[in-house]
Amino acid sequence: MTINKKATLVGGGIGTLAAAAFLIRDGGVEGRNITILEALPVMGGSLDAGGTAALGYSLRGGRMLTTDNYECTWDLFRTIPSLNAPGSTVFEETLEFNERHHTNALARLVDRRAAKVGVPSMGFSMQDRIELLKLSSAEESDLGSSRITDHLSPTFFETEFWFMWATTFAFQPWHSAVEFKRYLHRFMLEFTRIDTLAGVKRTVFNQYESMVLPLQAWLKSQGVNFVPDCNVTELVPRSEIDEFEVAAVKCIRKAISETIAIGEGDLVFLQNASMTDASSLGSMSAAPSLKTKADSGGWLLWEQLAASRPEFGKPSAFNSNVAQSCWESFTVTLKDSEFFDTMMDFTGNVAGTGGLVTFKDSNWLMSVVLARQPHFVDQPGDVQVFWGYGLFPDRIGNFVPKPMSACNGDEILTELYGHLRFDRDPLQSANCIPCRMPYITSMFMPRSAGDRPLPVPKNSKNFAFVSQFVEIPEDVVFTVEYSVRAAQTAVYQLLKLTRPVTPIAPHDKSLHVWFEALLKSFK
Ligand SMILES: Cc1cc2nc3c(=O)[nH]c(=O)nc-3n(C[C@H](O)[C@H](O)[C@H](O)COP(=O)(O)OP(=O)(O)OC[C@H]3O[C@@H](n4cnc5c(N)ncnc54)[C@H](O)[C@@H]3O)c2cc1C
């Protein structure tokens, strides 16, 4: 059954692409009645990947997924055809790939002597265990806007568990205690296998090519209109009464101002802000430029809307402290196999099976991941690509006397080779492209109830938020799943569908899982 509604979606990340798919698949909205407006030249938002073997590949992030969680994501991708495996859906293709290539990290942590750190125990003291248990059973209302450090003693942040958990999920000690608690529950199955990352699932290629492009191709086949290079500057309400209904969308498209009228009963979805807003790329010879939201204007629309409506949240809780939300990633393109061969020899993992290798004593808290090759669809057979990141880009390196944020790609490689104690062949043609992301962990900043709007805020008539900055009980941010869950929730609520949003798997409600986790904490 089709319904006669139009939908305008602001932002072209996985959140709105998913919303468009749910509108069509479950809501009966016709694809030709859906328009997606994106400020950037391509769709996909943070799930980007690009470049060439000649100029160097680049991706802001490499993603770990699971099939024990990510319920809404797989619900969606179970119905999206793969572009690379004819006859399979994206879900089937991903599952089949992971059956062939299991993650089982043999070198999860490496110390200052370039030695693999065996992880026979989580490293907890009895006090750490008690504090962790207390935090994981606390009520969110009691935790309020407190930080992780308000609940756990300094020794906890020196445990093997913290190094593994923090670098798997990108937590900092000063982040939200509520979010950390949610992660302990949501990823309780990962607690017992955090040393091997055995629960992690990967896509066949990078997530832009394995998730965004197939989804976009399906949406295109349904008639969805994509409008890149279109910056939305204002949502005009129909009237200033209590109920919020968008009457028009103002935007700047290729430097020309436009106003798009929204008909009565039609819908508007907004991606309020982005974790990769104001990100910048460097090169082998230049560090990334130091941008903030003032350079991009990416947070402006949410700030404008929230200024007069408390139910639209409080962006300043998330975007006011770049020093606490910034880190840097890098993508390396190699044209000979020496690095991969030496790494595989050192770690004992074939590329694609090792997960993260974290240099736990490195000042930048640096990690690298060697994905299964090729990682890009057009990647030549003699080229390898790997990705890495540093959680503390403001610190001076151990081998380079500069903060990571001031380093070019060549200096980042010097630091990496230093930690590995690998000889660096000066003739080797490595191309390392750094990427600075000032708001990358902005979603993890301490927040109070109400700082994030509901996907469909109170009194909204035709308007929903779809992003990492909405409130969804129990689920965790910094995941693809959160954006897709927000999309499903928003679409189902605005269309008043009876199909329920895919429920969160209740692993943390299982006594067996708690017992396993408790047992592991004593190892
Ligand atoms: C380095 C890194 C590592 C990650 N690791 C993982 C992982 O291991 N596992 C996992 O599940 N997830 C991971 N993620 C998170 C995941 O990629 C994101 O949660 C997800 O992609 C966010 O999607 P989104 O659609 O909500 O937002 P985004 O992808 O940020 O998209 C928002 C889009 O909206 C656009 N926009 C905003 N305002 C406007 C406007 N006014 N006008 C026009 N356009 C606008 C922006 O340009 C942007 O393209 C990682 C992300 C990064 C960057």
> Would you say the CB of residue 480 lies under 6 angstroms from ligand 1?
yes
226 lines ligand 1 (CB under 6 A): no
| Per-residue pLDDT, 433 | 98
Is the peptide bond prior to 503 cis by the omega test (within 30 degrees of 0)? no
End-to-end CA distance of the chain: 56
List for the chain the helix, strand, coil content (%; round to 5).
Answer: 35, 20, 50
- Structural tokens at position 462: 């035709």
Question: 465: CA distance to ligand 1 center in Å?
Answer: 14
Cα angle: 23, vertex 27, 30; to 5 degrees: 65
**Number of the ligand 1 atom closest to the C-alpha atom of 466:** 26
Question: Ligand 1 centroid vs 382 CA: distance in angstroms?
Answer: 31
- Spatial separation of the C-alpha atoms in residues 275 and 288, rounded to whole Å: 17
What is the per-residue pLDDT for 288? Answer: 98
What is the residue-level pLDDT of the chain in tens, covering all 523 positions? 788 899 999 999 999 999 999 999 999 999 999 999 999 999 999 999 999 999 999 999 999 999 999 999 999 999 999 999 999 999 999 999 999 999 999 999 999 999 999 888 899 999 999 999 999 999 999 999 999 999 999 999 999 999 999 999 999 999 999 999 999 999 999 999 999 999 999 999 999 999 999 999 999 999 999 999 999 999 999 976 778 999 999 999 989 999 999 999 999 999 999 999 999 999 999 999 999 999 998 999 999 999 999 999 999 999 999 999 999 999 999 998 999 999 999 999 999 999 899 999 999 999 999 999 999 999 999 999 999 999 999 999 999 999 999 999 999 999 999 999 999 876 678 999 999 999 999 999 999 999 999 999 999 999 999 999 999 999 999 999 999 999 999 999 999 999 999 999 999 998 888 888 888 888 7
Nearest atom within ligand 1 for CA of residue 279: 53
* CA 340 – CA 384 distance, rounded (Å): 8
Note if the pTM is more than 0.85: yes
- pLDDT reported for residue 515: 83
Cβ count near 436 (within 10 Å): 25
CB 228 within 8 A of CB 42: yes
Indicate whether residue 232 lines ligand 1 (CB < 6 A): yes
Q: What is the DSSP letter of 212?
A: I
**Ligand 1 mean position to 11 CA, how many Å?**
10
Is the distance from the beta carbon of residue 487 to the nearest atom of ligand 1 less than 6 Å?
A: no
Cβ of 329 below 6 Å from ligand 1: yes
CA of 274 to the centre of ligand 1 (A): 6
The 3-state secondary structure of 155-211, one letter per residue? HHHHCHHHHHHHHHHCCCCCCEHHHHHHHHHHCHHHHCCCCCCCCCECCCCCHHHHH
- What is the distance between the alpha carbons of residues 392 and 357, in angstroms, rounded to a whole number? 16
| pLDDT confidence of residue 428 | 74
12 lines ligand 1 (CB under 6 A): yes
For residue 388, how far is its CA from the centre of ligand 1 (angstroms)? 18
Query: Rounded to a whole number, what is the largest CA-CA distance in the chain?
Result: 68
pLDDT of residue 294: 94
Any alpha helices (H) in 198-315, and if so which ranges?
A: 207, 213-221, 293-296, 300-307
**Residues in Cβ contact with 318 at an 8 Å cutoff, skipping those fewer than 6 apart:** 273, 325, 439, 442, 443, 445, 447, 451, 469
Give yes or no for residue 331 CB within 6 A of ligand 1.
no
The pair of three-digit structure tokens given for residue 424, joined into one six-digit string: 């660096």
Q: Residue 239: is it exposed, middle or buried by C-beta count within 10 angstroms (0-12/13-18/19+)? A: exposed
468 lines ligand 1 (CB under 6 A): yes
Spatial distance between the Cα atoms of 466 and 490, rounded to a whole number of angstroms: 7
Closest CA to 478 of 434, 445, 510, 509: 445
Calculate how far, in angstroms, residue 437's C-alpha sits from the geometric centre of ligand 1. 12
Residue 65 gets which letter from DSSP?
B
275 lines ligand 1 (CB under 6 A): yes
CB atoms within 10 A of CB 259: 11
- With tokens 């994981």, the residue in question is 136
Distance CA 205, CA 97 (A): 10
Integer-rounded Cα Rg, in Å, for the chain is 23
Ligand 1 atom closest to Cα of residue 298: 38
Residues forming a β-bridge with 56: 52
| Per-residue pLDDT at 517 | 87
Per-residue pLDDT, 93: 98
Q: What is the spatial distance between Cα 81 and Cα 401, in angstroms, rounded to a whole number?
A: 49
| Separation of CA 346 and ligand 1 centre (Å) | 34
Using the atom order of ligand 1, give the atom closest to the CA of residue 46: 29
Residue 427: the pLDDT is: 63
Q: How many CA atoms lie within 13 A of 80 on its CB side?
A: 28
